[in-house]
Amino acid sequence: MTRAPENLLAVRRLLLDHLNVDPDRVRSEDLEPAEVGIVGSASHRGGYHTGSDRVITNDYSVVESPRDRAGLTLNASALDVGMFQVRSAGSTHNLFTFSIWCVQQCAANTPDSRDIREIIYSPDGRVVRRWDRLGRRSSGDSSHLWHTHFSFFRDSTKANRDLTPLFRRYLSTIGLLEDDMTPEEHAWLETVHRNLTVLDGRNPIGQIYTRMAMGEDHTDPSYVVPHPSLRTIGAQLSALQTTVASLLASGLTEDESSVVPGVLAGLSPEEIAAAIPPTVARQVADELSRRLVA
C-alpha cells in the first residue's frame, strides 16, 4: 500500500517542530499535525499523493517526467501544508508568504529546490496558482486556497534524498531556526556558486571560457591559435618530459653539457627568454651581441 517515505516525514517533522508553536493545544494560528499530509486518503487515486498501487493509466505524476517514471515505488511523493501564522524577527509569516517564498526559490532554480516538480498554492487566499517546473499546468482547485501542495519528483523519494534543506533555509530566513553561517559567509558562498556556474562549462559563457582555455574558440579547424593554450602547453610539457626521460635513461644525468641542450631543444625562444631571471637578462643579451659581432 502507498506509504509515506522517510525523507518527506523528515520535512513534516521539521515544519511541525517550528510552526506548531503551541503543540499542547489546537489553535488556528498554528500548523497542526492534521494539516501536514503526505499519503492521500484511501479513496485517493492518481497524482503524487499516491504510490504505485494507486496510480492510474497515463497518470501525470508518472508519465510526464523520466524522473517520475524511474522513481515510481509505493512511496507517495507529495506534501500538503495547511494554514499557519507566526511572528518572528518583527514580521508576520503565514502560509501565503511561505508559499510565495518557496515558489521564488523554485523559479530561481536554487540547488535545494530542484527536486520539487510543482507547487499549487494561493498567494493571497483569493486565487489559486500553480508553479510547474515542466510548464504543463498553471492552476489548481479551490482547496488550495487554504493549503499548499508540493509535488516532488519520484526519484527523490525513491532515493531517500534529503529534502529538508529548502525548508530549513526558509525557517532560518524568517528567524525560527538558527543559522550557523554569518551573512558574510552566505555572501561568499553565493559568489562562489555564481562564479563556478558561469565558469564550469554548463552554460554558454562557461563553454566560451573552456574553449578559449583549450585554444578552440573558433570555427575553422585549420586555424592555428597564435597564443598559448592548455592544449599547446600540455603538448610542450609532454615533449619536455619525454626529453628528460630519454636523457635519464641514457645515463647522461651528470653531463650538464648534454642535458642542457636537450632541455633547451624542447623550448621555444619565447619560453627560453621567459625563463631567464631579469637580473641576468641584460648580461645574456650583451653576451649574445658580443658573439654575433665576433
Per-residue pLDDT of the chain (294 residues; tens, 9 = 90+): 999 999 999 999 999 999 999 999 999 889 999 999 999 998 899 999 999 999 999 999 999 999 999 999 999 999 999 999 999 989 999 999 999 999 999 999 999 999 999 999 999 999 999 999 999 999 999 999 999 999 999 999 999 999 999 999 999 999 999 765 555 666 676 777 667 666 555 555 555 556 666 666 666 667 777 777 777 787 888 888 888 887 777 765 555 566 666 666 767 777 777 777 777 777 877 777 788 776
The residues near 123 (Cβ < 8 Å, ≥ 6 apart) are: 96, 99, 100, 129
pLDDT of residue 112: 96
Which residue reads 636537450 in cell numbers? Answer: 262
Q: Which of 154, 197, 198 is nearest to 61 (CA)?
A: 154
pLDDT at 268: 76
Strands, DSSP E only, in the chain?
A: 36-37, 78-82, 85-88, 91-94, 116-121, 129-132, 147-152
Residue 111 contacts residue 163 (beta carbons within 8 Å) = no
Q: Considering only CA atoms, which of 132, 182, 158 is closest in space to residue 70?
A: 158
pLDDT in the model for residue 270 = 75
Residue 179: predicted pLDDT:
65
Would you say 67 and 52 are in contact if contact means Cβ atoms under 8 Å apart? no
pLDDT at 288 (0 to 100) = 76
The CA–CA distances, whole Å, from 174 to 18, 87, 91, 116, 205 equal 11, 9, 8, 21, 35
**What's residue 271's pLDDT?**
76
- Give the Cα separation of 133 and 251 in Å (integer): 66
What's residue 213's pLDDT? 64
Distance from C-alpha of 48 to C-alpha of 184, rounded to nearest angstrom: 39
* Torsion on CA atoms 216, 221, 224, 229, rounded to nearest 10: 20
Phi then psi dihedrals of residue 164, to 5 deg = -80, -25
Where exactly are the structural domains of the chain?
Answer: 6-174, 261-293
